[in-house]
Amino acid sequence: MDYSITLPVEDIPPALPSKPTRFLDQFRLYMRTDGKSYSTEKTYVYWARFFINYSGKAHPTTLGTAAVRDFLTFLATQRNVSSSTQKTALNALAYLYNQFLKQPLGDIGFRYAKKPPRIPTVFSHEEAKRVIAELKYPSKLMAQLMYGSGLRISEAIRLRVKDIDFEQGYIVIRNGKGNKDRTTLLPKLAVDELKVQIGTVEKLLEDDIHNGVNPVYLPNALARKYPNYGRELAWQYVFPSQVLPVDPRAGVERRHHIHRYTVQRHIHDAIRKAKIHKQASSHTFRHSFATRLLYKGFDLHKIQQLMGHSDISTTQIYLHVLDEIGNWVTSPVDDD
């Protein structure tokens, strides 16, 4: 995908009327007032819309527990979704009814689909290096951070200059999954290239200021409280877009971060060029980060913190990966 292609901005919440009349807009406004992340907002609205359409576009206030149970059964029997997907759908609808509509669902009496947890695909260390070697900057640097720091692609593209602490050797992830902040490792291998990249960002910022480009997007109410922050280097994205997309909330062009689809496509092509025939993607770097640390003997709870997992059971899935790739057993055909 070419950098010159203008893609829609994906992580700036669109503006809403102060008194919305559409049901889903009212739901969105409630979630923003309640402090939900934009990622959660999009997910919950998706499932609310899906539920409404499934129910013949009936208004949710006319539906209830039986309709929700029927919908979850449909997801399991007709759509063959995983139990985690069912739980996400139920969480969205439970929030819709229990919190927004104030119509508690009570005991739904639903049994989740039981499917074994899927073992994540991981790169070996050599495979990861081969894929990274096939990439060009800035995608190469982002891949190094995904593998070396355990970043999700959404976290890599949203990094701002202020989030990298070169002196202390760590990266701060702001508003990660679950709207949580965390710190993770800053790979020494990436330090020099990151400093070069930030120098490039600084030059781009100078050009944007000279050309009258609008300041960078600031979250929450920061733009109103501190209007000059948007023109400070600290708040610029480490990986800016080469085009100026339109901010859906303000309706103006401004410098945003590179789009995830651009990076995903570059990594997909690099995996193919590296002749790695696995069901791999950009997220495989994050899985490989956790598995590599376990392989080197890192404490599971420390890895949980670095990955930003709220539940240790999520981190424990990588123990199964080690069981799969461990060298504690050999095939009989390889015996002397």
100 close to 45: Cβ distance less than 8 angstroms: no
How deeply is 25 buried, as exposed, middle or buried, from its count of CB atoms within 10 A (0-12, 13-18, 19+)?
middle
* Range in 21-35, 143-157, 167-181, 186-200 with the lowest mean pLDDT: 167-181
CA–CA dist 290, 313 (Å, integer): 13
- More confident: 227 or 45: 45
CA–CA dist 60, 128 (Å, integer): 47
Question: Per-residue pLDDT averaged across 257-265, rounded?
Answer: 92
Instruction: For tokens 């913190």, name the residue.
Output: 305
Question: Residue 222's pLDDT is what?
Answer: 78
CB atoms within 10 A of CB 21: 7
Cis status of the peptide bond prior to 138, with omega within 30 of 0: yes
Angle, to 10 degrees, between the axis of helix 65-77 and the axis of helix 38-54? 90
Question: Residue 311's pLDDT is what?
Answer: 77
240 close to 254: Cβ distance less than 8 angstroms: no
DSSP 230: G
Say if residue 21's pLDDT is above 60.
yes
- More confident: 18 or 192: 192
263 close to 157: Cβ distance less than 8 angstroms: yes
* pTM of the predicted protein model: 0.73
Alpha helices (H) along the chain? 23-33, 38-54, 65-77, 83-94, 125-133, 139-149, 153-157, 188-210, 222-225, 260-273, 283-295, 300-307, 312-325
Question: Residue 179's pLDDT is what?
Answer: 65
**DSSP, residue by residue, 252-290:** SBB--BPPHHHHHHHHHHHHHHTT--SS--THHHHHHHH
Residues 6+ apart with CB under 8 A from 51: 60, 67, 68, 71, 89, 93
- Which active-site residues does the annotation give? 152, 177, 283, 286, 309, 318
The H or E element containing residue 115 is none
Say if residue 333's pLDDT is above 70.
no
- More confident: 141 or 114: 141
Say if residue 164's pLDDT is above 80.
yes
Residue type present at position 212: G
Q: Give the pLDDT confidence of 280-304 residue by residue, as tens digits.
A: 999 999 999 988 888 888 878 888 8
CB atoms within 10 A of CB 53: 10
Mean pLDDT of the chain: 86
Laid out side by side, the sheet with 164-165 consists of: 164-165, 170-173, 182-185
Both structure tokens of 191: 């330090």
- More confident: 37 or 284: 284
Dihedral over alpha carbons 270, 272, 278, 283 (to 10 degrees): 30
The H or E element containing residue 246 is none
Pairing type for strands 182-185 and 164-165 reads: unpaired
